Amino acid sequence: MNRRGVACAVALIVCGLGLLAAEASASYLRCYAVVHKNDTSAQWNGARTNMDIHNGQIGTTDAQNGYFVADALWVYDVWNGWSASNNQWVEVGYTRGWEDDSNPGNNDVLTLYWTEQMWVEGIGYQYYEHKIRTSIAAGETYWGKILYLGGGDAGYAQWGVYIDGDPADSQWWYSESQAHDHAHNLFCGLENTASSGKLGSSSNHVEMKAVNKSSNGGTSWQTWAGDGLSETVDSGSTYHCHGHWQSDDPTTANWQNYRNW
């Protein structure tokens, strides 16, 4: 092979590696814009948030690749950090980017959903996502709630998932996770994996149900205010992710974490 041939071959290899790298990095795009409460001494009984439904958009290509944008509430039984694989949580929210069962590969459906990750004796860590219902529309508001129900079998903690006060109407509506009595970490806000994803202007009114550590029986809902956090998560109307650390972080104080991962 002459020099020109070698140069062409090298150029092709470099281009190929570049494309692979671009593809790899694209697949790891994931942004959060959330409020976060972390208190290891707390024992929260649950949390709830109102979800103002917006149509949002994720773009045709992102939808075909399974990317999505979601507005959600997370209650962690165990949270070991941003990169940990052994977290245990229950999540409820709405999303654009759900699978269209009548047309697999078209993932542009708007739906209410809930997910869970927990540890199960004899099996290991499990992650599940559950469809609640797709008959939702922009302009509607739903209350999503995750509530501690007590201890289940074999020392597991049970968490119920509710929409407007009723159990989420999929075949399951509750989760069991390894017992770490109650929750010490709460998140609420946006999760985005679509480069063009947005959910319009979203406003979450979030509350937590606190439980006194000694009495173990809190019954009243409290707002997030008073702990340095606002009760409102305002995602803004032009929220975007671009696959890198954001330089244009929202300036509102209630955006506590805004990062790619």
Partner 1 sequence: MSSRRRWMLILSLCLATFGGVVALLPTRSSGEVTPQMPEWLETAALHRLAQCGSHDSVPVDWGLCDMASVSAVLGKSTDLLTATELSAQYYVVVAHGEFTYENARVGPGAIPTGDWIVLVIDPTTRETLTFGIGEGSLDTSLIADVARTTL
Chain residues in the site for partner 1 (CB under 8 A): 27-28, 30, 32, 34, 36, 65-68, 70, 72, 74, 76, 79-85, 87, 89, 91, 93, 95, 99, 101-102, 104-105, 113, 115, 117, 120-131, 149, 152-153, 156, 158, 160, 170-174, 176, 187, 191, 193, 257, 261
Contact, 129 vs 99, CB < 8 A? no
Q: How distant is the alpha carbon of residue 139 from its chain centre?
A: 21
Q: Which residues contact 125 (CB under 8 A, 6 or more apart)?
A: 85, 86, 117, 118, 119
Nearest Cα to Cα of residue 197 among 51, 33, 73:
33
Looking at residue 103, its amino acid is N
CB of 82 to partner 1, least distance (A): 5
CB of 156 to partner 1, least distance (A): 8
Looking at the Cβ atoms of 73 and 210, the one nearer to partner 1 is 73
| Torsion 56-49-141-139 (CA) sign | negative
CB of 200 to partner 1, least distance (A): 18
CB of 5 to partner 1, least distance (A): 32
Looking at the Cβ atoms of 2 and 77, the one nearer to partner 1 is 77
Looking at the Cβ atoms of 160 and 243, the one nearer to partner 1 is 160
Looking at the Cβ atoms of 126 and 237, the one nearer to partner 1 is 126
Question: Which residue has 């069962």 as its token pair?
Answer: 101
CB of 203 to partner 1, least distance (A): 20
Q: Considering all CA atoms of the chain, what is the largest pairwise distance in Å, rounded to the nearest integer?
A: 82
The torsion angles phi and psi of 24, rounded to 5 degrees, stand at: -65, -45
Looking at the Cβ atoms of 30 and 180, the one nearer to partner 1 is 30
